[in-house]
Amino acid sequence: MNAWRERLLDEVAAERTRLTRRRLLGGAAGLAAGGALLATGLPGFRGSAAAQTGTPASGMSPFKNDVDVLNYALTLEHLEYAFYRDGVGKFAFGNGPFGNAIGNDLAMIRDHEGAHVQTLTQVIQQLGGTPVAEGRYDFGYGADPQKFLMTAQALENTGVRAYDGAGQYLKDPKLLTAAGGIVAVEARHASYLNLINGAVPFPAAFEDPASPAQIMEIVKPFVVGA
């Protein structure tokens, strides 16, 4: 990494006022026990030095090609879509700060995540790849609507960091543009969920990208099988 970029990231980290990962996950991080690593759904990522350390060596990518990057994104989109698909409608959340029904807004987010899954699946197939399948998950919110909302907040903020961290490995500029279109929507989801959970919707001037290994550590408690 260039020295100027290291200094920039250090300054960003020092000034950043967003929630820490511990607070962001709230009651969600330890809700599901154990879980299989998401690496089962990341071809080209398993066993690499980058996967083990979270920091790729100079010139080394944790992905073999663009299809692997897209499958990484699809793995996370499966997780998010399953969360909303199986959870929206279970709770009466009432209205948000602007008078809109939270349940209706969450249903819109669910549909967005479903569209992301469908689009990524189609693109991977068009590129000659095999899309990763949806896994089995335990989100652990039980009958607690607040835990559901906190988990949603954690997943959306984590998704933004994942896209920002992985975008640099896409070689095709068109795919990078398409991924940017997805992460922008994920960021809007995250801002909304921050707001209804009482957090700052736009907590910092810069986002905090995360490596695939870091993302796996955050989400693996939710994954119970392939």
User: Could you give phi then psi for residue 204, rounded to 5 degrees?
Assistant: -155, 160
- Percentage of the chain exceeding pLDDT 90: 69
Query: CATH number for the domain including 47?
Result: 1.20.1260.10
pLDDT tens per residue across span 139-197? 999 999 999 999 999 999 999 999 999 999 999 999 999 999 999 999 999 999 999 99
Query: Could you say which DSSP state residue 225 is in?
Result: E
Cα–Cα nearest to 17, from 154, 203, 223: 203
Q: Is 216 a domain residue?
A: yes
CA 85, 109, 209, 207 torsion-angle sign? negative
Alpha carbon distance 98, 3 (integer Å): 44
Q: How many domains does the chain have?
A: 1
Which is more confident, 60 or 47? 60
Range in 41-50, 60-69, 102-111 the model is least confident about: 41-50
pLDDT at position 17 over 60: no
Tokens of 182: 């997805």
What is the DSSP pairing of strand 223-225 with strand 136-137?
Answer: antiparallel
Q: How confident is the model at residue 21 (pLDDT cuts 50, 70, 90)?
A: very low
What pLDDT was estimated at residue 59? 61
pLDDT at position 33 over 50: no
What 3-state DSSP class applies to 204? Answer: coil
Task: Tell me the residue range of the domain where 162 lies.
Answer: 28-225
Q: Is 76 a domain residue?
A: yes
Q: How confident is the model at residue 45 (pLDDT cuts 50, 70, 90)?
A: very low
User: Could you give phi then psi for residue 129, rounded to 5 degrees?
Assistant: -95, 175
Q: What is the pTM of this model?
A: 0.78
Cα–Cα nearest to 175, from 58, 59, 72, 54: 72
Q: Is 55 a domain residue?
A: yes
Q: Is 199 a domain residue?
A: yes
- What residues contact 136, with CB distance under 8 A and at least 6 apart? 223, 224, 225, 226
Q: Is 211 a domain residue?
A: yes
